[in-house]
Amino acid sequence: MDMTDQPRAHSKLNSTRLALQRLERGRDPWALRWQALLAVIDLSILAFFILGPYLRAGPSYLIIDYIIAAWIGCELIARAFAAPSIERFLRRPMTWVDVIILGTLLFPDLLFNFAFLRVMRIWAIGKSPLLLEGLRRAGWSHLQDVFRACLNFLVFLFVVTGFVYTTFFYHREGGEGFVDALYFTVATITTTGFGDITLPGTLGKLTSVITMIVGISLFVRLAQAVVRPYKVSFPCPQCGLQRHDTDAVHCKACGHLLNIPDEGD
């Protein structure tokens, strides 16, 4: 390579890295459009997982499976390249979730028990700027906590449903197993406890206990987000308290004078 080509190649690599970082964390229209497209793809992957019981007997199942695997593999490479360092990339929880998801797609018969983790990609949508910016532009920024609580509850619901399905009902024909898993999960989270579907063995009992404890906690968190008074996110310059009443003049923790931006309505 010519000496003059090295700075040019280095500049192209930096430009690509900056573009990927902008795509992942940017709030401008270009970045938000790409984030929306990635969110649609993530939802499509979830739909593929949910429809898996109906599709896995057909010849197209493995084709779609490996296409999704190639996509997630490319995503991992792009995120590793855009990360400030490999160490920080490896410390991200979603990195390892995506690695496991990739394994379930490449080896569906061997690692099907971990397929439920594909639902975690929805959780990543809630952490992206797309949700916050979308709510702000729609005038619903005050519902941010409600949307996040709904998203967390939905992710937990489908994670547990996926685990119950792949562990206890995977070999049932068609979608019967997934529907039974979803029915059991909803009945357990709401503590309805009909008892017509139960999980066998010690693992089944432990799964039921964990589902009830965590599910009720998330359900209460969702209820609190819906009924509690609306607060704004504005860090206090003195003590760092993040949330305040909309009409707050002083920080309730330290008494520091606040200057919360107000649109005047």
Confidence class for position 7, pLDDT limits 50, 70, 90: low
Tell me: pLDDT of 229 over 70: no
* The pLDDT of residue 122: 75
* The pLDDT of residue 115: 67
DSSP 50-115: HTHHHHTTSTHHHHHHHHHHHHHHHHHHHHHHHSS-HHHHHH-HHHHHHHHHHHHHHSTTTSGGGG
Distance from chain centroid for Cα 117:
10
Query: Which H/E stretch holds residue 244?
Result: strand 243-245
Tell me: pLDDT of 17 over 50: yes
How confident is the model over 129-154, as a mean pLDDT?
74
Confidence class for position 226, pLDDT limits 50, 70, 90: low
Average pLDDT, the chain: 76
Query: Which H/E stretch holds residue 253?
Result: none
Between 133 and 141, the higher pLDDT residue: 133
Residue 40, helix vs strand vs coil: helix
How confident is the model over 217-223, as a mean pLDDT?
78
Lowest mean pLDDT among 57-71, 139-153, 197-211: 139-153
Between 253 and 48, the higher pLDDT residue: 48
How confident is the model over 156-160, as a mean pLDDT?
84
144-166 in b/e form (b: 16+ CB < 10 A) is: bbbbbbbbbbbbbbbbbbbbbbb
DSSP 171-197: TSSTTHHHHHHHHHHHHHHTT----SS
How confident is the model over 232-241, as a mean pLDDT?
72
* The pLDDT of residue 265: 47
Confidence class for position 144, pLDDT limits 50, 70, 90: confident
Tokens of 213: 């404890």
Tell me: pLDDT of 214 over 80: yes
Confidence class for position 221, pLDDT limits 50, 70, 90: confident
CATH architecture label of 140-228 = Orthogonal Bundle (1.10)
How confident is the model over 217-233, as a mean pLDDT?
70
- Would you report the helix, strand and coil content of the chain in percent, each value rounded to 5? 70, 5, 25
Give pLDDT tens digits for 74-128. Answer: 888 888 888 888 888 888 888 888 888 888 888 877 776 666 677 777 777 777 7
Burial class (CB in 10 A: 0-12, 13-18, 19+), 132: middle
pTM of the model: 0.66
How confident is the model over 36-43, as a mean pLDDT?
82
Residue extent(s) of CATH 1.10.287.70 domains in the chain: 140-228
Check if the beta carbon of residue 201 is closer than 8 Å to that of residue 177: no
Confidence class for position 51, pLDDT limits 50, 70, 90: confident
Query: Which H/E stretch holds residue 252?
Result: none
* The pLDDT of residue 58: 67
